[in-house]
Amino acid sequence: MAPCTYVTRLRRLLGRDLIQTAAARGGYQLDVPLDDFDLHRFRELMRRSRDGAGHDEELRLLRAALALWRGRPFTGVESVWLDREIIPRLDEEWFAATERRIDLELDAGPPDRLVAELRGLADGHPTRESLWHRLIVALHRSGRRAEALDAYTRIRTTLREGFGIDPGAELQHLHRSILQEPAATPTAEGPRPRQLPHDIARFSGRKAELAELDRLCGTDQSPTAIVALDGAPGTGKTTLAVHWAHRVAERYPDAQLYLNLNGYGPGEPVTPAAALATLLRGLWVAGDLIPPGVEERAALLRTTLAGRRVLLVLDNARDADQVRALLPGSGGLVIVTSRSQLRGLSIRDGAHRVTLHRLSAGESAGLLSAAIPADRLAAEPGAAARLIELCAGLPLALAIVAERAHRAGSLAEVVHALQDEKARLDNFGAGEGDPHTDLRAALSWSYQALGPDAAAMLDRLGRHPAGTIGLESAAALADRPPAEAKRALDQLVAAHMVQQPRPDRYELHDLIRLYAAERPGDEAATTRLLEWYLHTAVSADTTLMPNRLRDFLVPYMPRTAPRTFADQAAAMAWFEEEYDGLRAVVVWAAAHGRPGYAWRIAIAMTTFLDRRIPWRDGVEFIEAAVRAAELAEERAGVGYTRNSLGCILLDRRDFARAEDCFARALVRFRSMGNRYGEAMALGNLGLTRISVGDPAYGRELCRAAQEMCERDGYRRGVALNLDNLGMANVALGEYDRAVECHRRAAELFHELGETEIGAWNEQNLGRAYAAAGRYAESVRSLRLAAATLSRLGHLRQEANLLVDLGDTLLAAGHPKMARGCWRTALEAMRELSDPRVPALEAAIAGV
């Protein structure tokens, strides 16, 4: 066949512009821009990372470069030249980038986050000393000295038995330094949190209470000292707690933690489970390591704090039960504030109770004089006395009044404003001396003093169901660009109406939130907020799973462009930051007549839940979404939420409940003619039948689902069901057919850019090879899948894969290597409270 005929065909396949005529040489040339090659893009990002980028920018560039890798280069291409000359060099470039990225992450955050990844890399490359060096460093910095020494022993044994050599000088030096230094103390495990809010520079009053607090905790104590500050709203419990905490903070150098328990305010109080998770994250415990149950989390908190001098401020507690699980075991100070007297905490747990009453006239005058110049008070003594009287001894009201006085022409003007507002508030005239009524008058005045943008923003913030409010969600509430919203929020912070615990995150004092919630309603603002959470969650999930069909959004389509994400790391970071807010929004929407938003937001979070959230928490979350969908009487919602719940139950091997969920979802989808949903539920139902030992029927169901997807042109669904069919064929002993199914699925996943699901299919291909006795091919597929899942941070699936790899290595006659894989998997499974831990421990012991 003539060359021009080949060129014509290639142009038809690749596009005419890519193949140009090289007139000078009488031939043809392939003209592809360098930016279209992943390798060139990778090398350019690497060059930029080396050219003087700061720590954070270098880490971002390295992550972006590594995200371009999709396993071993030239997979499926048989070439001795590539295997000997090209691929090794490319592998070294990947290792250089990966090891530099790990070095930066070791310097930036908790080292224990990297242990599982480094174990997997070291086990996969048992002679690469640089990986073992980093693993040993991570273990040692995590306080796991014995494991670090054991890792050195493993690499030394491998090198001696395999090559007759010892580790290099760098590894030997690291080993000697660990042996020669004292054992790490608990306080050296990671950064020491300093979470106390800022102290009041001009704190005034409460001398008797401060003296009592100093007397209660004047000496070092080995048991945990608990102090409960209780009193009416607005009496300054939080201010006093924070002020005293700063006074005694130097006695507790290892950790200073603060948590608002939202015991009194809109929405539900923070549950002990959620509070424990927040405290553990504040102590640098990774989310994947936090167990599901309250008792397990409480035990982990006590273990993490053991041996440390810890100061813990638990603000706005509802009752003793909310606090009890959060208490350290010994050696710390816990300060609890509450409107309740917390008698149970005093009787059962030995808490010292200190009750805050309203300030005396003298203390109120002292507080006012600390904020207003003395000459102004002396010039208007009658007005100053009236201000004190109107504020009824409430520190928060006095602080608001003092701030207003700075901007008013006279104190009499402030008095007049307060008296005018008093007439407009319910029960204020009959409630003289009641902290609630006087404070509401002050708040009403403060609200009127705000500029129009700030006042409108406060109105909207009262409708936000979450305890902590991000800038973007506040902007959505106010229907303003983020820059304008930030200016309004800054005015509220300056007026002490909003607190700003960290950049672009805001909180309302519970009483101010109550006042803001009483302002005239704005249903449009609530709708904007729900839309923002829904469509930003969908945008983040699309970044994680780009080809998933999302017809569940109909008719909730975005009216403004949601936030977009540069990469998977950014999407996961947003989910982590907003998880508490998303959860609060789902609960609120389901309870306030917006169940359609509730279940759709939950469905948009399923990828994140699968990667980061323990199974038990995920089941509870999706069960709430099921109830919301049923409340909304939306068949599609019931179908999607039941299907998602079934997927989690299937992973947990709760096959009976999973099958029931998929069957119910199938009925809903069929009743409304939703062919995509029907195919999805049908394929999952088939996978369940395969898992319970009925592979023949399971294969029929998966084949039916595949054919539906083929008829509808849904290629992702075709690939998913080819993967399912491969598993069915393995269960039926038809290994060649299984391999063929997985290979066809791999081609589709690659074309679609489905990295994560493609890795799952590659894992199943490895299982098929192992079942057929083709162990070398199995190991290759499993390691390829492991590398992908490790980059994605999918700890649970990576652990499952390492179990498979260990099984294959054992069957191939490599028990030591199998144990190494299983041990790495076991560590991850323990962190996730996986129910399969005992079986894996038994397998390790039996080899």
Largest CA distance in the chain: 107
Over 90: is that where the pLDDT of 737 sits? yes
At 466, give phi and psi (nearest 5°): -90, 155
Distances (CA, A) of 390 to 236, 239, 258: 17, 21, 32
pLDDT of residue 433: 36
Q: What is the mean pLDDT of residues 131-140?
A: 89
Mean pLDDT lowest for which of 362-366, 417-421, 827-831? Answer: 417-421
pLDDT of residue 392: 67
Q: What is the mean pLDDT of residues 93-97?
A: 86
Check if the beta carbon of residue 797 is closer than 8 Å to that of residue 760: yes
**Which pTM value belongs to this model?**
0.58
pLDDT of residue 24: 53
With cut-offs at 50, 70 and 90, classify the pLDDT of residue 319.
confident
Return the sign of the alpha-carbon dihedral for residues 768, 773, 774, 776.
positive
Over 50: is that where the pLDDT of 429 sits? no
Q: What is the pLDDT of residues 10-64, one digit of tens each?
A: 666 666 666 666 655 557 776 666 666 778 888 888 888 887 667 778 888 888 8
Distance CA 190, CA 194 (A): 12
Query: Which of 121-125, 133-137, 407-411, 657-661: highest mean pLDDT?
Result: 657-661
* DSSP-derived 3-state class of residue 198: coil
Distance CA 448, CA 495 (A): 12
Number of neighbours of residue 39 by Cβ within 10 angstroms: 13
pLDDT of residue 115: 85
**Residue given tokens 């979450």 in the structure block:** 466
With cut-offs at 50, 70 and 90, classify the pLDDT of residue 147.
confident
Over 50: is that where the pLDDT of 759 sits? yes
Cα 193 to the center of its chain, rounded Å: 19
Q: What is the pLDDT of residues 599-653, one digit of tens each?
A: 999 999 999 988 877 778 888 889 999 999 998 899 999 999 999 999 999 988 8
pLDDT above 70 covers a percentage of the chain that reads 87
At 497, give phi and psi (nearest 5°): -90, -20
Check if the beta carbon of residue 531 is closer than 8 Å to that of residue 559: yes
With cut-offs at 50, 70 and 90, classify the pLDDT of residue 202.
confident
* DSSP-derived 3-state class of residue 252: coil
Check if the beta carbon of residue 627 is closer than 8 Å to that of residue 590: yes
Check if the beta carbon of residue 97 is closer than 8 Å to that of residue 125: no
Q: What is the pLDDT of residues 761-813, one digit of tens each?
A: 999 999 999 999 999 999 999 999 988 888 877 777 888 888 889 999 888 88
Distances (CA, A) of 238 to 241, 244, 313, 433, 509: 5, 10, 9, 21, 10
